Every structure is written in C-alpha cells, then in structure tokens.
Amino acid sequence: MAYNLEEQESIDNLKGWWEKWGTPVLVVITLACVGVAGYNGWKWWNHRQTAKASVAYVALETAVNNQDGKNIKSISDGLIDQYGSTVYGPMAAFVAARYAADNGDIATAKQKLQWVVDHGDRKEFEAIARVRLAGLLMDEKAYDKALTLLTGFTPSTDTERLVIDDRLGDVYQAMGKNAEARKAWQDGIAAARDGDPLQNLLRLKLDSLPEDGTAAAPAPAAASAAAAASAPASSAPAAKSSAAG
C-alpha cells in the first residue's frame, strides 16, 4: 500500500518514538498489570485467611463454653501464630489471657496481652491490652511498669484515651498519688462523650477520692468491668482480677 509523503513522515516519526520509548512504555504497562494482579491476589488471600480464622474462632468459643483448657490453648495459639494479622489474632489472645488468669496462670495471661501490645495492628485492641496488662501489674504491685505501659501509648480516639486515663488513675491511686489520679480521671472525663457510662464512673471515683496524702481505698472493682466493656463485643473479656478491665 502506497503512502503519501505526509503519511510516510508520520509513520517514520511514530517508529522513531517507539524505538525510543517503546520499551519503557511496555515496562510501565507490565508493572501496572502485575500490580493489579498482585493486589487482587492479596485481597483474595486476605479474605481466605479471615474466613479460615473465623471458623477457628468459633471453635475457640466452643472450647471456652466447655471450659476445655487444652483446646483453648491449642486453638488460640494456632490463631495467633497463623492468623495473627487478622482481627481474630488479638481476639484469641484476649480469650487465652482471660482463661489463663482465671486459672491462676498469670505469666501466660501477661504473655498473651503483651503479644497484642507488640504485634496487634489495631490501636483499639492495643489500648485494651495495655489496660488489662496494667491491671495484672497492679496486682503484683509493679506500679512503675504499669505506668510505663500506659503512658507509652498515644491514643488515637477519645475512647482509647478514656480507658487509658481510667486505668492510669487507678494506678496512681494505688500508689497513693491522689493528685495524679485526680488529673488522670479528669482528663478521661474531658475526653469522654456525654452520657458515656465510664464517664459517670470516673465522676464517682473523683467524688470518693481523698485529698493527696490521705490514705486512699483501692479503685472500685467496677472500674475493671467498665474498661473491659470498652472492648469490641466480639473480643473476649480479660481476667476477673483488675487486669480484666
């Protein structure tokens, strides 16, 4: 097929452009295709992992209902090891921590909660784990460690700040530092939404808090339950001790 001079010039220009830019263009197109395929593959894999983890978590709940300690340990360990990147990893750690604490195995309870602190990628879970672990440390009178655990967390929501300040006040009160406890609880009240049940509890704590230097009673047990209640409904409560809150 014959081309006129103008058409031939355009073809020559296109060939010259392709010789210069053809390879980079193909590379970009190839990388884009690989990226899309990789993203879709990751979504499929993540969905499959989450589905498998949910089945395992149902089995874990059954083991809890049956108080089957052997299966609670094996299933929760499997969820943490194999599906720790899903939401079910930290939830399984909470279940294992509660069961361990209820049965006097405080070391295991602390280990599971520490795992959530170190490896959980959801800040709301990390906040609850720090609160519960701080409760266990309070039971051991390891107040400095509890303070470090709580103050080393930067809340990203008002709810996280509320539960952290609640437990922080408990630790300060247990240390006899009533002024610091008062400030922590006041900060928590300021962060809470109006009508939040925990906000009302902090007001009760403040009302019962003596002046600094006066012997203070331990924080109400209800504080633990209130903090525990801040956990997602699907997550397991923590130990019955102050660590559970």
pLDDT digits (tens, 9 = 90+) for 82-119: 888 888 999 999 999 999 999 999 999 999 999 999 98
Judged on CB neighbours under 10 Å (0-12, 13-18, 19+), 215 is: exposed
Confidence category of residue 38, pLDDT binned at 50, 70, 90: low
Spell out where the chain has E strands: none
pTM for this entry: 0.69
Distance from C-alpha of 170 to C-alpha of 118, rounded to nearest angstrom: 23
pLDDT digits (tens, 9 = 90+) for 178-188: 999 999 999 99
Distance from C-alpha of 13 to C-alpha of 15, rounded to nearest angstrom: 5
Other CB atoms within 10 Å distance of the CB of residue 204: 13
* R_g of the chain, CA atoms, integer Å: 27
Does 12 have pLDDT greater than 50? yes
Average pLDDT, the chain: 78
